């Protein structure tokens, strides 16, 4: 379940700042944000003396905050870039990636759209402006409205690499959004729209399409994300400065525990291991 405040990337402060210095700050990916929020809520209940701050803004924002020392954990939906690694090391920060969940980027349209499946090439042609009307794909005579994440987003980076093959989106009228929630909301209110979101942002107001490659069409199910057969799958990370100590370590271990991985599933994502 995605709470509105977290979905919009605003700061969420949990617990009591009763003890000086007992604080934990997470920033970054709006894809990972539902996991971070749920985990922070439960963790703060276990540690009422702790102040936990959770904020979105995109993977790039989280990585920059970790490098600048303004957060303890960067939530990211992509691995760090070589330029980010260099900047981190130059600043004396040594990033440690913790795999906390798996995700499939869902291609979504308005529920009234009769289209049920698309190939990766067709999706690419939509975002590069080669296909501009749904009737070209067997749908209604309706102009396509492409909706995309902004370039600070890890979801954008993965979509750009897998679907667009690192070609910049060039369709006219692309609507760039600052969060997964904003993409979902835009698609839900725009009959001609197409967008892409993490699994945790699927809801009845939008419709996920089966995605095809080589003649096989798959919805982003847990089974196909785990098997690697869904073509737009990716890992989700929490990044710390080196191997963490203290409360940062305890929080990471909590996310990876049985209870934490159940929260991953509750948030709509795929746990990295089986949990009872």
Phi-psi region of 91 (alpha: psi -120 to 50; beta: other; left: phi over 0): alpha
Q: What is the CATH number of domain 4-102+235-266?
A: 3.40.190.10
Contact between residue 158 and residue 78 where contact means Cβ atoms under 8 Å apart: yes
pLDDT at position 22: 76
pLDDT at position 213: 79
Counting as low any pLDDT under 50, the low residues of the chain are 1-20
As its CATH architecture, domain 106-227 has 3-Layer(aba) Sandwich (3.40)
Q: What is this structure's pTM?
A: 0.88
pLDDT at position 215: 83
**What are the helix (H) ranges across the chain?**
4-7, 33-46, 59-68, 82-90, 120-127, 154-162, 180-188, 222-227, 246-256, 258-266
Domain with CATH 3.40.190.10 in the chain: 4-102+235-266, 106-227
């Amino acid at each position: 379940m995605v709470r509105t405040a977290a979905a919009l990337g605003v700061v969420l402060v949990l617990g009591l700042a009763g003890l000086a210095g007992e604080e934990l700050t997470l920033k970054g990916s709006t894809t990972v944000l539902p996991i971070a929020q749920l985990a922070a809520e439960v963790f703060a209940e276990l540690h009422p003396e702790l102040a936990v701050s959770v904020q979105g803004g995109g993977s790039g924002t989280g990585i920059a905050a970790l490098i600048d020392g303004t957060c303890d954990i960067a939530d990211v939906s992509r691995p760090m870039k070589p330029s980010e690694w260099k900047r981190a090391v130059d600043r004396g920060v040594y990033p440690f990636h913790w795999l906390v969940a798996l995700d499939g980027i869902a291609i979504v349209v308005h529920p009234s759209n009769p289209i049920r499946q698309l190939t990766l090439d067709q999706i690419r042609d939509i975002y590069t402006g080669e296909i501009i009307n749904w009737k070209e794909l067997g749908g209604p005579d309706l102009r396509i409205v492409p909706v995309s994440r902004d370039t600070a987003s890890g979801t954008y980076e993965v979509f750009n690499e897998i679907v667009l093959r690192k070609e910049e989106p060039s369709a006219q009228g692309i609507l760039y959004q600052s969060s997964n929630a904003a993409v979902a909301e835009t698609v839900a209110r725009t009959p001609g729209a197409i967008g892409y979101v993490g699994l945790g942002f699927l809801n009845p107001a939008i419709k996920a399409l089966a995605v095809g490659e080589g003649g096989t069409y798959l919805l982003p199910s847990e089974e196909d994300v785990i098997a690697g057969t869904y073509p737009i799958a990716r890992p989700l990370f929490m990044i710390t400065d080196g191997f963490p100590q203290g409360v940062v370590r305890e929080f990471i271990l909590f996310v990876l525990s049985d209870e934490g991985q159940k929260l991953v599933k509750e948030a709509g994502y795929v746990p990295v291991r089986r949990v009872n």
